[in-house]
Every structure is written in structure tokens, then in C-alpha cells.
Structure 1
Amino acid sequence: MIIGVSYDLLRWEEKDIITEAKKSGFKAIPIFTKDFYSAIGVGENYSELEADVIIQRNTSHARALTTSLIFEGWNYNVVNDATSLFKCGNKLYTLSLLAKHNIKTPRTIVTFSCLLYTSDAALGDVYKRQDEDILYSFLEYQEYTTSQFRQIYLVQEFVKKPNRDIRIFVMGDEAPVGIYRVNERNWKTNTALGARALPLKIDDELRDLALKVRDIMGGFFLGIDIFEDPERGYLVNEVNGVPEYKNTVRVNNFNVSSYLLNKLREWIKK
């Protein structure tokens, strides 16, 4: 099997995918998208690339979405595809789809409250209300950004989670591994902001929830972020279409890249 790896920044995950592909006897072809160009509608394509599947690993949401669209237009299998990336990349779209299918999420309104997002999740900015000066500074800043969503604000409740959240991974039709992201000193549970990764024991309820979210959002390889609410149980907060997993591998001793490649091989053979 020939694997293309579409990337703009060679992180640990991309290197590991290429290494594990070679160990498994696959041919791995890096596709550096900052040097990438395409011609549409004039009969040209990336014909020198022979790939059974292209794994989308761009850190830039816009670049990931665009290159997935291009590769799909050239009839390549792409993981994840552009449609699922678009759903994951827009938080309003994500929450609307989940609500439509009765998946519990944090309460979210388009007005003033505790947590503030722009609807474009790719911006990645989350603010907890501490005082109005911080909030209004952010609102003023947004007026000068170029995002098409700059005047659409999603205000989300602060969920009283137990100093942690959950990241669970879906690969194909399975949800084999996940982590707790724990932070006792800060409400933000992103590992890049100081949270610790701990192994997650996946129960049936959590596994079923992750697979339901996959069915709703589409995609083949997803990282699903879930809160534990003391009264409402599991709340799905975000779905990531190009998830990082270095810490998951480290604390679980679970080879995510190898598992992903094996699931892709099963999928391609069908």
C-alpha cells in the first residue's frame, strides 16, 4: 500500500506515521503543502503521485481543507476528507449537527456569558470571563481580523468538570484509545497549556458516544473532546479532524500510527 502524508509542519506524529508505514512495508510519500500548487480545470493533476490513500496532517485548517478538496478532485482517498474537515473546523456547525442528533454538548448561545469562541474553531482562542475589560478587548480585536466569522460569537457555559477532560480517538469503526487531560492549576485542559496526560479506560458508554459522533461528523480519524458534567454526564465539546496524539502514545503505550495504518489497509481492501 502506498501512503501519502500531506503536511505543512513535520511534527512528531507525521514522522511517526512515515516511520511506521515503512516498518509495515508500505511506501510513504511526504507531500509538503507549502510548496504545493495545483491547476484545476485544465487537465492537470498530481499524476506523479501514486497513492492508495493520503493522510491529511496539515496544521493549518485552511490548508488542510483546501488540499483535501484538491486531492479528492483528483480521485484520491483522503483521510480526513474535506467535508468532515469543514464540519470539524466550524464550531457552530459541529454543535448544530450534534444537537440535531441528540448528542449532549455544553450549553451555547450567541450572546454574553462565560466562555467565548468565534464560530471558526481554527482560531483556537478560548476566554473565561474574568472581567469585562478582557472580554471587550477581545471583541474590539475581532473587529479588525479578516475572518469571515469575526462577528459571530458563540458564548459557552463553563462546565464544572473534575479538573480534566477526555480526548478519545476514533479510527475507522473503532475507538481504541484515549487520554484524560488533567490540570489542577488551570481550567484549561489542553496539554500544550500545562495539562498532564493520563491513560483513559474506555467504557461502553464512552465508546458508543465516540462512534455516534463519528457517524454524524464523518471522517476516518478523529480526536473527540468530551467533558464530564456531574449532572448531565458526558458532553461533547469539540471534534478534531487532524488530531495530535504524541501524549496518547506515551502514556498508553499504544501505537496510534500503526493502528491507523492497519485500519486504512482494511478500508482500502474493501
Structure 2
Amino acid sequence: MAKVFMFYSRLRTEERLLIEAARQRQIHFEPVVVSDRMWPNEIGGKGDVALCRCIGHVQNHALALTVEARGLITINPSNVMEICGNKISTSTRLSTAGIPQPDYAIAFSLEGALECAQKMGYPVVLKPPVGSWGRLLAKVNDRDALEAITEHKLHLGSQHSAIYIQKYIDKKGFDIRATIIGGIPVSAIRRCSDHWITNTARGGTAQSYPLSDELKKLLKQVHEAIGGMMLAVDLFETDSGWLVNEVNGQPEFRSSQGDITGVDVAGQIVDMAWSATCKEGEGVV
């Protein structure tokens, strides 16, 4: 009989919620700690589904590639992880689809970074192409600061050799995190903070936020552009309309769950994963 596996590196709140949701539904669900195994191995096979819940993008992507080769359906698929795991890939995909986002540019030198900032106008935000939780973000207000930060980045190794620069958006103390499961927007929260970084992992507080028809339409466009079965989309609400800031393919969701939104996100993820076991031989795109 088909089974849902949950591969994880650390048992966070989200993974505990998924285990409990599966227990309540009495489905065939097996949590597996990735550090206890070598990969590839004999776990699972064609028709099974894998929830890839490692903390790091590199581990998740490597894991998905490995188990997909054995015929498992991964959530999300490795190609979607690759898009969401790199901000350059995400931004270019959104740009191709005509989805509104903050102005962005890529530089490979100090001179290029200075040119980007001059065209955008200060302040700008420097982000590592690969990363989460708002780590290593820098709001840059002037040329002197940009020169200093760029010089540091260019000496930190290949991971920082492509400099992702985004126009700073005054989001008035909050942004929106929306969750899409199975292509359907299911919840949204408003993340508030006195700091310009509003991630809940960095101390932002979460409030429920209504899913308007306009927002749902935009989120469905994002899903069509990115693909996948589970996405979390970070957006800015501006006077001129919505801007998509980032798209997450392996999101934490505890702030979008339960008391805050009234939505059982974990239960919907488990239901979606279990229904995918019926698609033996089919890929998930």
C-alpha cells in the first residue's frame, strides 16, 4: 500500500503538526530523520509520496533528486525547489510571467552593484540568492554602505559572487504571507514588526488577513508561474497594488495555522500528500 514519508532534519512545530494530522486521519505516514540514513537507499518506491521537510534548501533539493529517482512523488518537486530556493530564479520566473514585484537586478562586481543602486535609487536591499529567515539581508541607504557590504560579499566565496539587489519598498511595518496548497490559496497572515524585516522567525507578530478575490487571483498566477503543490508567497501591499516579494517552496507554517487563521494548514498538507499517492506513475508539477 502507498505511503506518505516525511523526511526531516529537525522536528520543528510544523513537523509535529504534520505527524499529528496524519495520526488523526489514520493514514500510512512515516517520519524519517535524514541524518540517520545514507542516500540513495531502499526507502519508498513508485506511488509513494515524500514531504521533504529538511531545514536547509541544499539538503531538501538533494533529497528530492534522490528519492524522485526511485519513483517517489516529492512535495515539492525538485524543479520547483530549485526555483524557490534561489531568489534569482524566482524573480526571473515571476518577471517572465508578468507578475508584479519590486525592481531587482543582479551584479557581479562592485561597479555593477553601484550602477544597480544608482538606477534604482537608494535605499536598496541586498539579499543572498540562497537563504531564508531574513538572514544576511542588508538595507543599504547610501553609496558608502553599498561599497562596504559589496566588498565583504565578494570576499565570502562563490555563494555571494552573484549579488541580488532589490529596490527597498516601504511596507509600513508589515507584509503578507499567503499559503497555497494544491494550487488553491488557503490562508493569509499579516506579519508586523517595528523592524524593516518582518519575518516571524525574526520576531514579527502574525495576524489573520483576509483573502480577497484580487489577492486570490494573483496567488493563482504565482502558482501557475512557479508550479508545485505547496507554496508560501510573501507580498507587499502598496498604494499602487500588490508586489510579490518572495516565494517559498518548503515553508514553515505554524503562524498560518490554527488559532490565527482558523485554517488547519497541516491537515490540508497531509490530505493533499495522501491524495497524491493515488497518482501512481504520474509526476506532480
Structure 1 counterpart of 2:229, from 220, 228, 249: 220
Q: Is the 8 A contact 1:181 1:196 kept in 2?
A: yes
Structure 1 counterpart of 2:197, from 176, 188, 194: 188
Q: List alignment gaps of at least 5 residues for structure 2.
A: 107-115, 280-285
Structure 1 counterpart of 2:138, from 107, 110, 127: 127
Report the alpha carbon displacement of residue 132 of structure 1 after superposing the two structures with TM: 5.2
Report the alpha carbon displacement of residue 136 of structure 1 after superposing the two structures with TM: 3.8
Q: Is the 8 A contact 1:161 1:230 kept in 2?
A: no
Tell me, in whole angstroms, the C-alpha distance in 2 between the residues paired with 1:28 and 1:48.
11
SS in 1 for 2:160: coil
Cα deviations by residue, 1:156-206 (Å, 9 ceiling, x for unpaired): 1111223211111010021111101012x2111111222110001001111
Structure 1 counterpart of 2:244, from 236, 241, 247: 236
Tell me, in whole angstroms, the C-alpha distance in 2 between the residues paired with 1:48 and 1:202.
37
Cα deviations by residue, 1:49-95 (Å, 9 ceiling, x for unpaired): 78721101111110000000001011001101110000001111111
Q: List alignment gaps of at least 5 residues for structure 1.
A: 40-44
Please give the root-mean-square deviation of Cα atoms over the aligned residues, in Å: 2.1
Bigger RCO of structures 1 and 2 (CA < 8 A, at least 6 apart)? 2
Identity percentage of aligned residues? 26
Report the alpha carbon displacement of residue 131 of structure 1 after superposing the two structures with TM: 5.4
Report the alpha carbon displacement of residue 38 of structure 1 after superposing the two structures with TM: 2.1
**Kindly tell me: are residues 87 and 215 of structure 1, through their superposed partners in 2, closer, same or farther at Cα, counting changes over 3 Å?**
same
Cα deviations by residue, 1:107-166 (Å, 9 ceiling, x for unpaired): 1123334111233345842111145565444323323434x3422112211112232111
**Kindly tell me: are residues 124 and 84 of structure 1, through their superposed partners in 2, closer, same or farther at Cα, counting changes over 3 Å?**
farther
Structure 1 counterpart of 2:161, from 135, 139, 151: 151
Aligned counterpart, 2:9: 8
Q: Is the 8 A contact 1:13 1:246 kept in 2?
A: yes
Cα deviations by residue, 1:3-30 (Å, 9 ceiling, x for unpaired): 2111111100011101110110112211
Tell me, in whole angstroms, the C-alpha distance in 2 between the residues paired with 1:136 and 1:30.
46
1:160 paired with 2:170, answer yes
Aligned counterpart, 1:252: 261
Structure 2 counterpart of 1:108, from 104, 108, 116: 104
Tell me, in whole angstroms, the C-alpha distance in 1 between the residues paired with 2:142 and 2:36.
44
Tell me, in whole angstroms, the C-alpha distance in 2 between the residues paired with 1:29 and 1:266.
16
Aligned counterpart, 2:217: 208
Tell me, in whole angstroms, the C-alpha distance in 2 between the residues paired with 1:240 and 1:208.
18
Aligned counterpart, 2:113: none
Tell me, in whole angstroms, the C-alpha distance in 2 between the residues paired with 1:80 and 1:49.
17
SS in 1 for 2:267: helix
Give aligned pairs, total: 262
Q: Is the 8 A contact 1:2 1:52 kept in 2?
A: yes
Structure 1 counterpart of 2:150, from 139, 149, 152: 139
Report the alpha carbon displacement of residue 221 of structure 1 after superposing the two structures with TM: 0.6
